[in-house]
Chains A and B, each alone.
Chain A
């Protein structure tokens, strides 16, 4: 019994009705970006048709309505993450900007030469490059922990890596390559035991798993709207308010100030201090509609559906001769399945599948260090969501077998 009915949900996603190369689209690139239900697009259209003005700075009706919608979106995101209140939610462009905000603001204010930020070898570049900036600028050290043979974070190695020099543990909730889910509460406890903060890259976690930042006891949780049915251009950072209060601004400009003279400026409280300039209001409205949609389906059901699809895909792909799977085969994991076909480069696999209307991702998935660990600098990735069906995975499997045979004929 499926925890949700993907066929019924698909009716809300007009793009899933289109064809590619003469075939019904099979969209399996959800870890890169999800598709949007009508409800999200219509909420944004309604906002622009009836309520748009700049937020927080007008006495007129439209500005008040836009502000209420924008702040309402903040409250919805806070509730979605089970944060204690909206004041810890900062809207950003995406997860990448949220993690850059943490490094640039919290990192510059709190880190110095010799301090260590502990990450895993499976991080997305967005959780590595901002720390490399501080490595160059401040002389901190980025220390990476490896994986177990089945592709989960090596907790013993993590415990060994954490020391009194550790100031932050920064890792993913769900790996965008392996589908691995990190035991974030455990990581947070280890970080807090040495006085370090816990930073979570929630780009894949928020769309696919129930998130409870209070139960996780993390200090930062970063999300992207476009991976969770929302529009591009909006994401969020939840930060523990007591920490956010102490952090210097990220960008300067309108909206983030208290008082400005030619000589100097003072800054607004949280979260406004971190939202310089006109924010993505329509996008925040769209994100709120996406959250309503996800909550209507239920995040437990979404996670269970993803996990069931992953099990089905692992069984079926695992039975293909000449196909190598990466990531955990058993136990809790997300709906992301990464693989290679022997003797066929993943770009050629992706082109062959595209010719049958099947969209997957190929390449390094913005996680080049992990590619080096896996011994596969490039790989192919199929990632699922609440509208994905087992029939679509069957089509993937059939196309992969044809692709393998086509290329093998010339080897």
Chain B
């Protein structure tokens, strides 16, 4: 296993993959959004409970690769308790990082996925959760 792969699949990413946070269905969700990656068939359902412009609770279901599952898990950690405006900012910042821009300071653990910006075949895996969030918040 070479260094590039080890830097991609860091311990914390594999930890999120094997023991994802906020996995499951959310009762009394205000937003339920399905996301799909047609090129590989991976599917994700994102649940949000938004009250007074703040994401009070978040959860996701779905099957996918380590990158997509870890990305979804990391995203839910970042969203819990965040305002909708903040969630949109994070989404833009995350996608900018995946496009190859330097990660902004406030991405925290989300910056662990920076390596994906060099692995074009896997960009859609890393961004599936975030594009699903974008779709959920367009209403």
**Interface positions of A (Cβ within 8 A of B):** 21, 344-348, 350-352, 354-356, 362-364, 368, 371, 377-378, 402-403, 406-407, 410-411
Most buried by B among A354, A407, A410, A411: A410
- From B2-10, B45-53, B89-97, give the one contacting chain A: B2-10
Which residues from chain B contact A406 at a C-beta distance below 8 Å?
1, 5, 9
Say if the beta carbon of B101 comes within 8 Å of chain A. Answer: no
Residue of A nearest to B63 (CB): A377
Q: How far is the CB of B10 from chain A (nearest CB, A)?
A: 10
Is A378 in contact with B5, judged by CB distance below 8 angstroms?
A: no
Which 10 A-B pairs have CB atoms at the shortest separation, nearest pair first?
A345-B65, A410-B14, A347-B65, A364-B41, A363-B40, A355-B5, A406-B1, A348-B66, A348-B65, A355-B2
Given A347-B122, A371-B41, A378-B40, are A352 and B1 also a contact pair (CB < 8 Å)?
A: yes
Which residues from chain B contact A355 at a C-beta distance below 8 Å?
1-2, 4-5
Is B4 in contact with A348, judged by CB distance below 8 angstroms?
A: no
Is A345 in contact with B66, judged by CB distance below 8 angstroms?
A: yes
Say if the beta carbon of B125 comes within 8 Å of chain A. Answer: yes
Q: Please tell me the number of chain B residues within 8 Å of chain A, measured between CB atoms.
A: 25
Q: How far is the CB of B110 from chain A (nearest CB, A)?
A: 19
**Interface positions of B (Cβ within 8 A of A):** 1-2, 4-5, 8-9, 11, 14-15, 17-18, 39-42, 63-68, 119, 121-122, 125
Q: How far is the CB of B96 from chain A (nearest CB, A)?
A: 22
Is B125 in contact with A347, judged by CB distance below 8 angstroms?
A: yes
Which residues from chain A contact B41 at a C-beta distance below 8 Å?
363-364, 368, 371, 377-378
How far, in whole Å, are A368 and B9 apart by their CA atoms in the complex?
A: 28
Q: How far is the CB of A125 from chain B (nearest CB, A)?
A: 11
Which residues from chain A contact B17 at a C-beta distance below 8 Å?
410
Most buried by B among A348, A354, A362, A363: A348
Residue of B nearest to A399 (CB): B1
Residue of B nearest to A344 (CB): B66
Q: How far is the CB of B53 from chain A (nearest CB, A)?
A: 36
How far, in whole Å, are A364 and B38 apart by their CA atoms in the complex?
A: 10
Q: Can you list 13 pairs linking A and B with CB atoms under 8 Å apart?
A: A345-B66, A347-B67, A347-B68, A352-B5, A355-B5, A362-B40, A363-B41, A364-B41, A368-B41, A377-B41, A410-B14, A410-B15, A410-B17
